[in-house]
Each structure stands twice: as structure tokens, then as C-alpha cells.
Structure 1
Amino acid sequence: MRKIRSHYATPEDFTAAIREDNALEVFTTDGYEPGEEVLLELSFTGLPGKMMVRAIGHEWHAARPRLRVRAGGTVMCAGSEWRKIQFLKKVATGEVKLTARRRHVRLPVLVEIRWRRRGQRDFNTAALSEISEGGGLLLTQHRPEVGEEVIIEITPPGSARPLEILAVVRNSNNDEGVGLEFMARDMGGVHRLREVIRRLVEQ
């Protein structure tokens, strides 16, 4: 999956680019084909950090300098990816305030994992819908409390051995799950986590 970047000069430019039919106007010189799945990196002035969104290419055109038309086109988003666009719209209009800048950009994934509370043996089957070296979004029916320590087991694509990660629940603001911060990662664990993330995004 290729990554493309689209930056908007102002929050108003971003909100103007959102269409009602789950489409988003993007400005990028990285061409894509209709129907191609892309990893879209969105940013606009005032947004602390960047948002990664999975999207499907709808149409793209090269720049037309004489007509003062920038290179770009439209992409389509659905489900949780479209909800990310709507969340960014709230940020752009000032309805939601973001002040903290994440050290690592969260990447959109959807991977089945197992997790358990630290000190317990029984695992729960769940999923991660976002991941970075710093943390992830855990989707689970049995939501742990903020401040609880949990053990996450992720099995990378093509691997039989799971990666075990200690994490702390940092927030429960998302209706779909809880935000995790990964803890106690030695250098070997960091390198393996990076490889796991790469495989998950590219699968």
C-alpha cells in the first residue's frame, strides 16, 4: 500500500475539501489509480501532528499551471476511516481542541490480537485499529480501566511467534475502544515492533 500526503494550508481549506458522499478532495503530486487503496497522510495548519487514513482512490489529475489547478483529486473513505475525517473536521472548526503532539504517528490497521490484564492468565480476543511505536487503539468488549496495565500479544503476518507488549490504558474517550501506551520496550523490542507495524500496514 502506497502512502500519499495531502497538506491543507488552513483548517478552512480542509473542511472545504470534505464532500457529503464520503469523499475527500486531496492535493498531492503522487498519482494513484481509481480503485487503488492508499494510506493517506493528512495535515493542516494548526493540527498537532498528522492523521493516517486508509482510502480508495477515486480520481486523480496532474497539475494544470495555466488554469491554476493543483495536482490532486478525490479519494473515498468508509467506516472508521470516514469517522477519522469527521473527527478532523471537528478539530478544524474548533469543536474539539487538540494540544498534545504524539511522538509517533498512529497508523490505521485492523488486526486480531490477544490481551490480558497484567497478573492474570486468561486472554481476551480483541483487535487493534491503530498502532505506532508508542501505542495503539484496543477494540474490545471487556474494556480495561484507565491506568490498568495489560499484556498485548500481536502475531505478525507470516510469523508463528507472537510479539508480547506491556501497555498501560491511557484513555477511554473513544466509543470503540481504549487508548494504550506501550511500555518497557528494550531496543530489540522496538526493532521488532517496527517490523510488525510495517508488515501490518503493507499486508
Structure 2
Amino acid sequence: MFTTDSYEPGEEILLELSFTGLPGKMMVRAIGQEWHAARPRLRVRAGGTVMCAGTEARKVQFLKKVATGEVRLTARRRHVRLPVLVEIRWRRRGERDFKMAALSEISEGGALLLTQDERPDVGDEVIIEITPPGSARPLEILAVVRNKNNEDGVGLEFMARDMGGVHRLREVIRRLVEQ
């Protein structure tokens, strides 16, 4: 990572990664561990160390496999997913009872739904409720489960995105990332 923006130990940092073999960019949320300023006379660049935990740490392990060529990726997504960790409620379409879960990645095209006990199947339509920071009412989004390859949850593709829905979703994502 190359940056001239310093950070404090314990500060939450959003990293944007790109390298050969990675189609597009990947966002990773980390915690700053230490930082050192540049020392031009010694030819030392500014930099530091960060730590990732939970699903972000697993994402970094996956990215290491991509970087070493152990895993090959092809471009699949139109939108860069941003790392968040937000509690949500979800239910299968046609069911009445909501279940608690969390999202760990989100974009205007989809999200990673972290589920503990029950997982919807590929092809299931689900409704998720996200309450944006500073909002009293939750936003309901219809989604379809597109994959179950992640050990932490399932990949969702957002479906019912009418003209105003995309703008509302972008605003929710902006608020979640800035919180």
C-alpha cells in the first residue's frame, strides 16, 4: 500500500486494492496499527501496517491467492462492493417473519449477506431491510441469492430497483461507508 495520508493506531481505514490478476478494484476495511513518515534522505517511503479481522481477513487471504496466481478471476461485477458491517433484517419472499443478519459488502448491484443459522438457497428471492444511519424508516430491497460459495454467507443481487430506488440505495451506501 502506498499513501501519503497518515493514520493513527486504531483508526479505521478503507483500502482500495488493484493489482495484476485482479479484474477491477477491491475494497478492504482495516484497522491502522502503526504509521511512519517518509524519510527521503534514507529513501524510505511513508507507510504503515494495518490489520484486518473477520470476513475482511478472509478476503485478504483470498486476495493473496489471486496475487500469487493460485486463483484466477474473471470480471463478474459491474459495481465495486464496499466493505461495511451493518445489521439488517431479511426474509424469503412470501414469508412473514424476518431474521436478523448483517451485510459485510454492498454495492448498488448487490451485497454479501452474513447469515448465522439459516441460509437461503441459490435462486431464492429475499427481502432485506436496511435502516440507514440517521433514518427512522428501513429501506426494503428485493434481492436474489446468486451464490453460496462464501463460508460466511450468501451473495445477493439486488433486483427491484425502480428509478428512485437506485438513488436511495446510493444514498444508503454513502451513509453506511461514512459512518
Normalization by structure 1: what TM-score?
A: 0.81
1:42 Cα shift? 1.5
SS at match of 1:191: helix
Amino acid at match of 2:14: L
CA contact (8 A) 2:33 2:50 kept: yes
1:68 Cα shift? 3.3
Deviation string 1:95-130 (CA, Å, 9 cap, x unpaired) is 222112421111111111111111222222211111
Most deviating of 54-63 and 191-200? 54-63
What number of residue pairs does the alignment pair up?
A: 178
Alignment match, 2:165:
189
Separation (CA, whole Å) in 2 of partners of 1:187 and 1:38: 32
Most deviating of 136-145 and 55-64? 55-64
Q: 1:173 pairs with 149, 160, 164, which one?
A: 149
Amino acid at match of 2:126: V
Alignment match, 2:25:
50
State the Cα RMSD in Å: 1.6
Q: 1:121 pairs with 96, 99, 105, which one?
A: 96
Amino acid at match of 1:76: M
CA contact (8 A) 1:49 1:101 kept: no
SS at match of 1:133: coil
Query: Is structure 2 residue 87 aligned with structure 1 residue 112?
Result: yes
Alignment match, 1:161:
137
Gaps of 5+ in 2: none
Alignment match, 1:38:
13
SS at match of 2:17: strand
Query: Is structure 2 residue 58 aligned with structure 1 residue 83?
Result: yes
1:188 Cα shift? 1.0
Following TM superposition, the consecutive aligned residue runs of length 4 or more in structure 1 with deviations greater than 4 angstroms are: none
CA contact (8 A) 1:171 1:178 kept: yes
SS at match of 1:173: strand
